Every structure is written in structure tokens, then in C-alpha cells.
Amino acid sequence: MSNILLKAGAGCGIAGLLLAGAMAYGTVPFNNTSVAVLDLDRVQQEADAYEKVKTETEKYVSALKARFIDEETALAQKGADLKKKIEAAGGKTAGFEKEIQKLNQELVEFQRKVRFESELIARAKNAAIAQVAPIAQASLKEISQKKGLSVILPRPYVTYHTENVDITDEFIKLLDGKKIQVSYPDPAQFTVPVVANQGAAQQQSAQKTEEKPTESK
């Protein structure tokens, strides 16, 4: 019987890296079954292929921040200026409704653009990771056949295991040895579904702002 305890609520198919095997709740005895543990967090942090994905993702995120920093700074300045004007008027928003509404609309549009660009990057990242997945699965199968393993469990869902059942180092070494070439796609080539009522919701929000302006503290 293997010295492994599973956390309650463990899921199946974590990160697409698990071989077929039984997973249940509580304490699970694997009679006549060879079990191993894989630390998926370490794999994603240390394996060369995933490091390439991480590096490329950070490049696009940095470029995104640089592209929007001026607009973000300008909006922050507008907000600060408007706050000063309201404070000078005794803290009342009466007479500033249109300015408040306009600024709120600009903020909503800014946030929409940032979310949209961020989602494109996320989709590009997932597409890059998908290139690694089949090779990672084949590598797991290779190790399992070599060691005669029946089940490989993800580390986050195991509360206890002995070190001799951890195959993370071996897996990372094997994966790195395959020299996986990851082609990171241009985020701009992806599309993001548009919420049908998004425009209506934003317009309704703007109308509420105009009807019931928020008092400045």
C-alpha cells in the first residue's frame, strides 16, 4: 500500500498531464498499484518549455502596460482635477454631473480596452502551452512505462508522500531533453467574444451616474 493521502475534493485531469487512474476522496489505498507524484507547479516554473512561454507572456504584458500608461496617467489626473473642483465647491457634485459622467465613461472604455488586450494575451499563452501538452503527456507515459507506474498524482492534491515517489526532477529533465520549440503566437490574431448587452449595460450605468451623482468624500 502506497504512503499517499489525497486531499478531499481532488479533481481529475489536472493540467492535462495525468495518466488514466483512480482518484477518490479521503485516504486511498492503492493495493498492487505503483503510484508516483508530480509537482505541476515546479514543472511550470522550472521546465525550459514553460519558461519560454512565461518569458514571452511577460514581454507582451510589459508592452501592454507601456502602451496604456499614458492614458491611465491622464485619466488619473482628470480624476484628481475634478476632485479638487468639487472640493472647492464645498464637496457637492451638483453642477459637475456631466463631467463626472464623461470621466466615468472614459474609465469604463479604458478598462474595456485593457481587459480585451489582456484576454488576447491569455489566449496566446494558452495556445503556446497547448504545444507543450502532448509532449508532456508522452513524457509521462515514457516514465510510467519505465518505472511500471499505474497512477501519477498531481502534488497540490497530495497531503503526504515519501520522497521516493516524487518524479518531478526526472520529468523536468526528460522534458528539457526533448528541446521543445514553442512558437508563441501573436495575441492580435485571436478574437474575444463580445457580450451582446455590454453596450446597453454601459449606457445604463452612465445614465444612473447622471441621474444619481455620487457625492465626493
Give per-residue pLDDT as tens, 117-164. 999 999 999 999 999 999 999 999 999 999 998 888 888 788 888 888
Whether pLDDT at 202 is above 60: no
String of DSSP letters for 98-152: HHHHHHHHHHHHHHHHHHHHHHHHHHHHHHHHHHHHHHHHHHHHHHHHHHT-SEE
Distance of alpha carbon 209 from alpha carbon 97, whole angstroms: 8
Whether pLDDT at 34 is above 90: no
pLDDT value of position 210:
47
| φ, ψ (nearest 5 deg) of residue 95 | 95, -10
Whether pLDDT at 106 is above 80: yes
Comparing 217 with 99, the larger pLDDT belongs to 99
Assess contact for 38 and 19: CB atoms under 8 A: no
Q: What's the pTM?
A: 0.70
Comparing 15 with 14, the larger pLDDT belongs to 15
Whether pLDDT at 23 is above 50: no
Question: 71: closest CA among 120, 106, 115?
Answer: 106
In the chain, DSSP assigns E strands to 5-6, 35-38, 151-154, 158-160
Q: What is the mean pLDDT of residues 208-214?
A: 47
Whether pLDDT at 9 is above 50: no
pLDDT value of position 32:
58
Whether pLDDT at 190 is above 50: yes
What are the structural domain ranges in the chain?
5-211
When pLDDT is cut at 50, 70 and 90, the band that residue 90 belongs to is very high
pLDDT value of position 159:
81
Q: What is the pLDDT of residues 161-180, one digit of tens each?
A: 888 889 999 999 999 999 99
Whether pLDDT at 20 is above 50: no
Output the nine-digit C-alpha cell for 212.
444619481
Whether pLDDT at 5 is above 80: no
